[in-house]
Structure 1
């Protein structure tokens, strides 16, 4: 690993939970109904966690870096466009004639173009940074796209560009890309990092017919079969099947995370590079903002894996950074709302924050609700009441299934199943993240997080004292919190409040109590509403 990369990784830190809690609390006091700004509120909280302060700094000025490179896999006939178009488009960017230039002028963003691997020799041009690592990659169906050293150098180029744009005053960075055939490499990267089927992540790119599309899928499959890339070795994956712009974009994301400034992801190329960045440094996800949901299928799979919710969904598939620049005003507005909107106290406006216990009729519910309580406190009934006016609910039971040697538990599960409305859909699983990531209007109810945690601790081998059990548990909890924070669904979760129950005075009991307390606190911090049940009486805590 190079010194530049080591220095960058050392500066990347997790999101600041105290700042996120402060942002959530401030959102609840602004002169608007809680949760009424939806994803903008979520992003403002995430940006506070990234900056480590509430409110976070303004996400402006902003700059988009368009990394340009060519791909040897173009020789396999995966694109109808000639490879020369990459260099021609770089010249177009330089004179301000591309789509990203037009949208950037509207959004007030600077555009920088970086030649990290264009096959042609480009003449010097204003606005084009010459950082060519090599003139295009090799054909990934024949050999590795580049050497490991070249992949590291391209990553360093991305870090250098992030630092350069930051040093010139930019406080929001946006990803851009240009490279004919780069969606083929993107599909290979997404399949390698997520384990998804190549056919599921391969799209039509710049617009190809059915025959070329089938060939493109086969090319991705051949490349993956040839190299067998190991997702635990992200630099190796980039070197084997990636592009020079992918590696540079991964470095750009890492550089932004180290500088603690947001980096707005564009489409499928940026999303595939973001997977590589996360594999290098998991905490870099805290800096990522999903600008839009690309029409390329791999983008949605990558965003779900990253736990990011796109701000814009317009069926875009251009690239260049166009979707990221379109989303820029939304990112900036999220911060301005948190910084500039008056609170109820400062504006002298009455805060209508009625406790569910005192309200008549259906109980009010936010988009993300946590219902806490001790045993037999009525917490599950309260959660169901919050969704009583909804016809269809995805009900998740993450606890153990009935077992022949535990008739009492079997009876409890049967009673729960029988009490649910016939229209509710039951999921008996501990795999909550994909359900939270689903883009659907059907509400989700999780009953309960305490049984989920118990099962996850067992899955991770905590009680068997597996060497990596603690890290596995931390990763599972981090994934859940991230998915909860970014979910677009209405979701209600039930959990045992450990302060309201009796915990066996054993090492295992104390460990479970401590872990559940942490899970409850983290989920509560990123929830819109928290209700505490005591003896069947709800009290709204948030």
Structure 2
């Protein structure tokens, strides 16, 4: 099966049980039912997507700006020269665009993807080169792309979503850059909604009445030429779409398959979302409309999708700006379900005193070798001097032929209170999934990952070893997200270290870095210990 077919097959509707739990919890919180309006609906959708209530905090966010040029530009449908596309890509990469400022404020990650810029872009940090072709063809005279090119661009978007999720992003945001891209957006929206060309065609980055009338005529000619059939979404995309539209389709499908919320920004995203839902109807459950663009087609697209925009601020910039601006509201929707007290937990003057309910706490402690990270973790475990703790030791057994490791294990054992239970195990998932009142302390994830790699023969490059290791990592991350127990885990921080000189060292560094990132995104607290000094990062 192709990546597109596999992605579509992986998409499922919202988890009905989690949706019901979220709705019931909204009713139980210390507020009038429905008082938070659409924010409550967003929280319910996040829970249904994650398959649990409360849902994880959708942070950090990852914004992908797909850039491409358009052959229809030669029809003079825009007042801006086509060279602006490449110039804006350079501005994104230098950090000087509007969306750079907004992503910095939101703590979001930015990925710029060249899927079809009509220029040779120099390699640069933050730029992903996935050029399918140098711009589309003129949709008013011939198909903008071949079907194969449309599928290739879709798979660029799928890959981009998958990469961001693997890096720990828990919410994705669409972005686009392409002079004249509102023209194919209008054609796509007309094709999928049946709306008139006049109703879907806007003024883009700012055109006068005469240019707008000409633009309407160009879109009408394209529709008459291709007669796009909404029952053939790939055909519509290839005939009248853009490369960034196709990549955004894949990005939306990739997010839905990974069950991560994805925020739509503007008319390009709206057009792409119509195509994505035509390919996989359940994908819509992952979509959140960041804002209502002033482009008329944007409102028609959202209406057809049944999505209510979070913001309505007369925005028309693109770049992902409106989607990023909506992130605080989306994060708040999750935090309400996670952090607001229930009425049953609130003590009123006439009520008998009651013990507040505690909720599990997930803490990740990072640090280098001999940094004091294990000592920090032991201090962070709840009531370490009086309450029982299950200490999960993941390292190998000490042996006389390794005196340094034997001494390290001896010191760790001597430091633990006598009433703690030590379990030497590699099966962390079983303990995270098991119910129990006592918190867990995992020390440490670095040695756990080493043992997993060794068990599956990754060092020997055995067939399927990487897939087997990835499956164990995925299972650990899933259990970390859903555990009902408080847990403090220790891991080595590899992001600022030197690159190991060996193949195995580099593989271990990369695998551990991704694992740390994924766990950190679903942690309530993240600490970094350096030279015995612990700093709270989150």
SS of equivalent to 1:150: helix
| 3-state SS of paired residue (2:271) | helix
Q: CA deviation at 1:349?
A: 5.1
Q: Work out the CA distance in 2 between the residues paired with 1:155 and 1:337.
A: 35
User: Corresponding residue for 2:86?
Assistant: 87
Counterpart secondary structure, 2:326: helix
Q: Within 2, Cα distance between the matches of 1:234 and 1:143?
A: 17
Equivalent positions of 1:186-225 (< 5 A) are: 186-225=185-224
CA distance in structure 2 between the aligned counterparts of 1:345 and 1:259, rounded to whole angstroms: 35
Greater CA radius of gyration, 1 or 2?
A: 2
**Cα shift at 1:19:** 1.1
| Partner secondary structure for residue 68 of structure 1 | strand
Look up the match of 1:262: 261
* Alpha-carbon distance, 1:348 to partner: 2.5
Q: For residue 141 of structure 1, what is the aligned residue in structure 2? A: 140
> Are the aligned partners of 1:151 and 1:235 in contact in 2 as well (CA < 8 Å)?
yes
Tell me how far 1:6 sits from its aligned partner.
1.2
User: Deviating runs (4+, > 3 A) in structure 1?
Assistant: none
CA deviations 1:239-282 (Å, max 9, x no partner) are: 00000000000000000000000000000001100000000000
Q: How far off is 1:204 after superposition?
A: 0.4
After superposition, the CA RMSD in angstroms is 1.1
- Pair 1:334-2:333 in alignment: yes
Alpha-carbon distance in 2 for matches of 1:281, 1:147: 21
Rounded to whole Å, the distance in 1 between the matches of 2:266 and 2:43 is: 22
Counterpart residue number, 1:52: 51
Q: How many Å separate the matches in 1 of 2:207 and 2:272? A: 23
Matched, 1:278 2:274: no
Report SS of the residue matched to 1:116: strand
Say whether residues 1:10 and 2:2 are aligned partners.
Answer: no
Task: Note the 1:296-335 alignment, pairs <5 A.
Answer: 296-335=295-334
Aligned-partner Cα distance in 2 for 1:175–1:348: 44
Q: How much does 1:48 deviate?
A: 1.1
Where 1:289 maps in the other structure, the secondary structure is: strand
- Partner Cα separation in structure 2 for residue 122 and residue 37 of structure 1: 46
Superposition pairs of residues 365-514 of structure 1, within 5 angstroms: none
**Cα distance in structure 1, aligned partners of 2:347 and 2:12:** 39
Residues 267 and 299, structure 1, Cα contact 8 Å, conserved in 2: yes
5+ residue gaps, structure 2:
351-538
Q: SS at the partner of 1:181?
A: coil
Helix, strand or coil for the counterpart of 2:21? helix
CA distance in 2, matches of 1:265, 1:108: 18
Where 1:337 maps in the other structure, the secondary structure is: helix
Q: Does 1:153 align with 2:152?
A: yes
Paired residues, number:
350
Which residue does 1:389 correspond to in 2? none
Change (3 A) 1:347 1:92: same
Report the equivalent of 1:343.
342
Secondary structure of 2:216's aligned partner: helix
The answer for the alignment partner of 1:529 in structure 2 is none
Helix, strand or coil at the partner of 2:199: helix
What CA distance in whole angstroms lies between the structure 1 residues aligned with 2:347 and 2:59?
30
